[in-house]
Amino acid sequence: MKLRLLAVLLLVLSIPAALWSAEAAVNGPVSIVLTYKARPESRVEFRTWVETTGAARFAAWKKEGVIADAQLLFSTFASLANPDLVVVLDFASFTDTVRWREVERRSPGGLTPEALRLASVESGNYGEPLARAVASKRDPAKAAYLVVTYATHVSAAEYAKYVHGYTVPQMKEWMAVGPLTGYTMLYNNTSFNTPWDSMLIMESADLAAFARRDEIKWAARAKLNATDKVFKSYTDSKASIRDDRAMFHADAIPLPK
């Protein structure tokens, strides 16, 4: 009996936290979000490595089917408080992450021994895609990115309702006007020892478009508060749902074709 209980306990502990969500339970799409921190004196050299060798490695893994896609975002400004690099790896299903787990055994975070002398992997977490959209016309090379992370205070189900009732309507308004050309909202269902509970990545067409962010944001919120009762209810209660944890600018590093 004790052996059976121990076996069950070991099985439970071996299941990643993301599996407890409805999406992962049906083996749906999932992302792995990796953050990296460069040694201060090696930040420039690390960025050069990411732009060349690193991007080529992720492109090769995409071509080989190890990952469905990869987004590489290097922080625009050096900061001790924020990661230097964020990599979002997309997978068609949770079980598809098995090949990336094999990569991790030989190459932590996809880094070569050369890169590991320049930087280290700061964190790695599953991210469930709650919402995502991109404009039909966009240029990631010119885009200005803003990465925002949050601490959440409600259940996964309640947070998903909040995202679709509050975040998504705003993103749609911003994209309809034009400055916003894409966004991704990810949810990390792990409840302890993680740097973020949810992550929103916003893509503005360029710096000029980003400069209109506040103008567009307040206009959209005024419109939605006046016309959408659900949105208005979340406007009044969002402080009890999530808190901002970090916010930083980033530049896309494209994968080679």
Q: Is the pLDDT of residue 107 over 90?
A: yes
Residue 179: partners with Cβ closer than 8 Å, 6 or more residues away: 204, 205, 209, 210, 212, 213, 216
Contact status, residue 88 vs residue 31, Cβ threshold 8 Å: yes
Q: Please give the single-letter amino acid code of residue 223.
A: K
Split at pLDDT 50, 70, 90, the class of 10 is: very low
Quote the CA–CA distance of 197 and 193 in Å, as a whole number: 10
pLDDT bin (cut points 50, 70, 90) of residue 100 is very high
When pLDDT is averaged across residues 189-199 and rounded to a whole number, the result is: 84
Please report which confidence band the pLDDT of residue 191 belongs to, taking 50, 70 and 90 as the band edges. low
Instruction: Give CA–CA dist 148/37, Å, rounded.
Output: 17
- Of 53 and 193, the structure prediction assigns the larger pLDDT to 53
Residue 215: its H or E element: helix 213-227
10 Å CB burial of residue 244 (0-12, 13-18, 19+) is exposed
- Checking if the pLDDT of 23 tops 60, the result is no
Residues 118, 168: contact at Cβ < 8 Å? no
Is-above-0.95 flag for pTM?
A: no
Domains of the chain, each with CATH number or no CATH: 19-252 (3.30.70.100)
Q: Which two tokens stand for residue 181?
A: 């050309």
Residue 3 has pLDDT above 80, yes or no: no
State both tokens at 155: 């259940």
For 60, half-sphere exposure in the C-beta direction (CA atoms, 13 angstrom radius) is 8
Q: What is the pLDDT of residues 125-173, one digit of tens each?
A: 999 999 999 999 999 989 999 999 999 999 999 999 999 999 999 999 9
88 confidence band (pLDDT: 50, 70, 90): very high
Q: What pLDDT, on a 0 to 100 scale, did the predictor assign at position 101?
A: 96
Task: Give the model's pLDDT for residue 190.
Answer: 79
Using the predicted structure, report yes or no on whether residue 17 has a pLDDT greater than 50: no
